[in-house]
Structure 1
Amino acid sequence: MRPILKDLKDGKISIEEAEKLIKSQFLDIREVARFDVGRKLRTGFPEAILALGKSDDDIVQILLSSPTDPMIVTRLDPERFENIREKISPLEERGFSIKYEERAHTLVVKGNEKISLDYKVGIITAGTADIPVAEEARIILEEYGCQVIKAYDVGVAGIHRLVQPLYDMLEEDVKIIIVVAGMEGALPSVVAGLVDVPVIGVPTSIGYGVGEGGLAALHSMLQSCSPGIGVVNIDNGFGAAVLAIKIIRAFD
């Protein structure tokens, strides 16, 4: 209820809109979506907007109507962002910043709310092709105040590349390590066998033959003989970041 009342006080919404939000806890946006404005209060993280399956106009309407802060759009291709860039510019007049990360295909629209978890999280990728998924996770973590320590392209094909970055992460006292890998997906098992912090495995769709689509990496991570690994869905950098944030909040 607090963010709704704050928006009312700041003149961003009318009394009628505030009453509707408080009563329903969702925002009916012109038959396009029922945006769950109460999710952040219940779960600690706002509803994100998945660009897949939505038209550009759908995304614009949701962004212009939603009272949540921050607003996050995932899987938004660069050309689609360019299509909506001018249409969402009124958000800047309302004090929101618009930040698009091309490699991660992620848009963050952020107001004045300051969030700082003040913890460090490591992100490792097996290959360069896995970086876009890792970057999606990085953006979400940094928006929530975490310091991210990265080590990219350190997979098992040249396992010696992993030693120094992993040592540095442990020296920096990271609380969680997110490991992103495609192909056979072996890297999370290696990392989990070397560290005393939780490991979140993220299989990616990078692969071919029996590994096509990321299923081999997913099955490998689920079948890991190293304990202490949690696995999210294929290419789900966003989900890995949210899980890390919830774990951190549990012991904050």
Structure 2
Amino acid sequence: MADLRDILARVQSGELSTDEAAVQLQGYEDLGHSRVDHHRAARNGAPEVIFGQGKTPQQMVEIMKSLSARGANVLATRVQDNAIEPILAAFPNATHHALSRLITLQHKAPEPAATKIAVVCAGTSDLPVAEEARITCEFYGNPTLSICDAGVAGLHRLLNSLEEIRACRVVIVVAGMEGALPSVVGGQVSAPVIAVPTSVGYGASFGGVAALLGMLNSCASGVSVVNIDNGFGAGFLANRINRL
């Protein structure tokens, strides 16, 4: 209702034409290749996120312009190499996070969360997915704790960080290979654990399927699982839980 009143007031003041108001009231902008959902934040609490894989640089820039024109903070995931330079040229204030393949553009500071999210990753090879989760959490205003290279092959590394992890409201655990780490963490903390299987591992890991199945079969209570390599999905869910 607040958005509707704002649109009507801007039409009345002459700031917005009736044609522009009609576009805003329909809830999306049709770019031909994409229909950008401008009512996503009103429905879900956060603007649409751009999945960059398979999109051309021109498509990425046009979608980002559509979101930015409404003052929305922009998060783009899986940004392809050929799109990075055109995006940064069009949006000098955007930030490219190379390891996680994210681009963020923040026009306004997000509302800060009062409690912290831990992002624990099993191995250094899992860092690209862990960073996707961490930066997503921070994009939405959540303070984070990063614990890297704490896999079960050297459990003392995890145990040395347990008190810090236990102080967090939500724990994201990222692991490949056999995917055992979320079960271990889940048995040690009272917070909800979001498990992220990665495609890291040798042939019998089947591109992350072994880790996915191991996590789905976890004997620790309070562990949920997102899709393989889906650091964004884990970060987005952690933000929602952290704000309950």
Write the distance in 2 (CA, Å) between the matches of 1:11 and 1:193.
60
User: Alpha carbons of 1:154 and 1:177: their partners in 2 closer, same or farther (altered >3 Å)?
Assistant: same
Residues 219-250 of structure 1: CA deviation (Å, up to 9, x unaligned): 00001111100100011111001111111222
Partner of 2:44: 43
* Per-residue deviation, residues 23-55 of structure 1 (Å, max 9, x unmatched): x111111x1101111111111122111111111
1:73 aligns with 2:69: no
Q: Note the C-alpha offset of 1:164.
A: 1.4
The residue that corresponds to 1:109 in the other structure is 105
Partner of residue 54, structure 1: 55
- Give the direction of change, closer, same or farther, for the CA distance of 1:8–1:240 in structure 2 (3 Å limit): farther
Larger mean CA deviation between 131-140 and 5-14 belongs to: 5-14
Q: Report what 2:29 is aligned to.
A: 27
Tell me, yes or no, if the aligned pair for 2:171 and 2:191 is still in contact at 8 Å: yes
Contact 1:45 1:242 in 2 (8 A): no
- Relative to structure 2, which stretch is displaced further, 36-45 or 197-206? 36-45
Identical amino acids, percent of aligned pairs: 41
Structure 1 match to 2:188: 194
Do the aligned partners of 2:99 and 2:128 also contact (CA within 8 Å) in 1?
Answer: yes
Q: Secondary structure at the match of 1:20?
A: helix
Q: Match for residue 141 of structure 1?
A: 137
Distance, in Å, in 1 between the alignment partners of 2:155 and 2:138 is 28
- The amino acid across from 1:148 in the alignment is T
Could you tell me the TM-score, scaled by structure 1's length? 0.87
Q: Is the alpha carbon distance of 1:190 and 1:127 closer, same or farther for their aligned partners in structure 2, counting shifts above 3 Å?
A: same
Does the Cα contact within 8 Å between 2:117 and 2:242 map onto a contact in 1?
A: no
Which structure 2 residues correspond to residues 107-186 of structure 1 after superposition, within 5 A?
107-170=103-166, 173-186=167-180
Aligned residues: 239
Aligned with 1:210 (options 204, 214, 227): 204
TM-score, length basis structure 2: 0.90
Q: CA deviation at 1:68?
A: 5.3
Distance in 1 between residues matched to 2:238 and 2:184, nearest whole Å: 19
**Cα distance between partner residues in 1 of 2:50 and 2:35:** 11
The answer to whether the 8 A contact 2:226-2:233 is kept is: yes
Alignment partner of 1:239: what SS? helix
Aligned CA-pair RMSD: 2.3
Aligned partner of residue 159 in structure 1, secondary structure: helix
Verify the 8 A CA contact 1:205 1:213 in the aligned structure 2. yes
Q: Is the 8 A contact 2:60 2:83 kept in 1?
A: no
Residue segments in structure 1 that go unaligned for 5+ positions in a row: none
